[in-house]
Amino acid sequence: MAKIIEGYMPFRGYKTYYRSVGECKDGKKPLLLLHGGPGSTHNYFELLDVLADDGRQVISYDQLGCGNSFVEGHPELWTLETWIEELETLIEHLQLKDIHILGHSWGGMMIIAWLIEYKPCSVSSAILSSTLSSSKLWGSEQHRLISFMPQEHQEAIQKAEANNDWKNPEYLAANDYYTIRHACDIKGERPECLMRKKRFGTESYITAWGPNEYTPLGNLKDFDYTDRLNEISQPCLVINGTNDESTPLLAKTMYDNIPNSEWELLDGARHLTFGDQTETYCRILRNWMEKHD
């Protein structure tokens, strides 16, 4: 089993937790993982530890505001700029060069903005996993998915959105139904890293995104880089599932507009694609990174 190293990096007077698995051999380049949310944690990325068995360093971290980097009571921190600054600080702190970078959901949004606005020269390839280039298009697609749910769940979500009431039991039941259908299992047996208790960054999630996956009301509600995707010069792999919150339309929008891109669509997978189809997902990543090492 590959060696695991954990540590903390000073950042803005706080500390950012990171986790490194394995080391690079035979010319392979490290893989840096950006989790979703904002406000989730690195935990689910432990499903990808097996990638380190092939002689590749795999690095994940808890972004400021969640997990082992938990901070709250500072809503002014929860901006795209804060988290990109943290990303660049971590890359410098760990002395990473020529990396593959993977962003899941919100993490993919970070990568898109970073590649376009900051134009880093240290990225060999990017993996845009179940993500989006436009919050408005995302919201539209989620409501299209909701239109296929049972009528009582549709009405409960509509009522919650109209009244800004996110505590009604009928809404919560509808949200659970949506989560199981398009995101991931929330009950039953799952790998330990998915069952482990974590400190979710609720404040950072609500401030930056909103009350749920399908109602972007936070400061990212106007996030839209679709018209600038052609500025991305790095090779990009777009990957999502047919039952994913990141719908085929969202994936195709990125694939069509990023010049040097490929697209993998996993049949039957939901938003946590690498949880639903871990072996297939890892095989795709191995092939992609070996091609771009």
Enumerate the active-site residues: 105, 244, 271
Q: How far apart are CA 198 and CA 190, in angstroms?
A: 15
> 104: which DSSP letter?
E
**Can you point out the beta strands (E) in the chain?**
4-11, 14-21, 31-34, 58-62, 99-104, 123-129, 236-241, 261-266
Instruction: Identify the DSSP state of 134.
Output: B
Beta-carbon contacts of residue 212 (< 8 Å; ≥ 6 apart)? 166, 175
Q: Is 72 helix (H, G, I), strand (E, B) or coil?
A: coil
CA distance 212 to 145: 14
